[in-house]
Amino acid sequence: MTAPSLKYARVERERRWLVDPAVPLPACDDTLAIVDRYVTGSRLRLRETLAADGTRTRKLGHKVRLGEGPEAIACTSLYLDEGEWGLLAALPSHELRKERRRLRVDGHGVAVDVFSDACAGLVMVEIDGAPDLSPGDVGLAAVAEVTLDERFTGGVLAGLPREGLLALLAEHGVVPA
């Protein structure tokens, strides 16, 4: 496999943890409503975010793994206007909805994602580029680290039926309310 060009890409080195949805979430002033559409048969993702102030952002993302697993990914994004969004949103895709609470801990980005719809009851924490940080640093107790578990990647979760999610959470002792 030829290594992808990183000329226009940003490299993500995220770690992800599953969090008990019954645990109170940390206070946060920066939240986004996110709808991801994973385009069927591709590595493309359409993302629409809505900030608390009403700012809407739409972009097309392309993710390429830099190794065998999901721990290092080259991400490229293009921001879309209404016409481009409308054209691409018509492509067949699987949808994933979540609220993202964004925090800064020791200068590093921490995202607490609370999923909805078919994935309701799933709460995950993502920490990018900070190997020494953990969910405990933001007051959350992790149920399990799921960084290397492919089933907790966005593309897989988007296509997972509700019963599949419940079975996946049950493997870790999580029972959504």
Digit-coded pLDDT (tens) for 124-134: 999 887 778 88
Instruction: Give the gyration radius of the chain's Cα atoms.
Output: 16
pLDDT of amino acid 140: 86
> Which residue did the predictor score with more confidence, 79 or 133?
79
Work out the pLDDT band at 11, boundaries 50, 70, 90. Answer: confident
Distance set, CA 83 to CA 79, 80, 87, 88, 89 (Å):
12, 8, 6, 9, 10
pLDDT score recorded for residue 103:
87
Query: What is the span of the domain harbouring residue 121?
Result: 10-170
Question: Largest Cα–Cα distance of the chain, in whole Å?
Answer: 46
d(C-alpha 28, C-alpha 138), whole Å: 11
Whether 2 maps to a domain, the answer reads: no
**pLDDT on residue 133:** 83
Burial of 97 (0-12, 13-18, 19+ CB in 10 A): middle
pLDDT at 99 over 80: yes
Number of separate helices (H) and strands (E) present in the chain: 3, 10
- Residues 23-78 have pLDDT tens digits of 888 888 899 999 999 999 999 999 999 999 999 999 999 988 888 877 788 899 99
- Check which CATH number belongs to the domain holding 147 and give it: 2.40.320.10
As a whole number of angstroms, the distance between CA 109 and CA 84 comes to: 29
Helix, coil or strand: residue 12? strand
pTM of the model: 0.91
Q: Is 143 domain-assigned?
A: yes
Instruction: Give the separation between CA 126 and CA 80, rounded to whole angstroms.
Output: 25
What is the arithmetic mean of pLDDT over 99-123? 91
Report the pLDDT value the prediction gives residue 1, as an integer from 0 to 100.
54
Count up the domains in the chain and report the number: 1
Alpha-carbon gap, residue 172 to 18, rounded angstroms: 9
**Digit-coded pLDDT (tens) for 138-147:** 888 899 999 9
Q: Say how far apart CA 122 and CA 24 lie, in whole Å.
A: 14
Distance CA 92, CA 119 (A): 20
Q: Work out the pLDDT band at 3, boundaries 50, 70, 90.
A: low
- Could you tell me if residue 128 is inside a domain? yes
Amino acid code (one letter) for 21: P
CA neighbours closer than 13 Å in the CB half-sphere of residue 87 = 7
Q: Is residue 1 part of a domain?
A: no
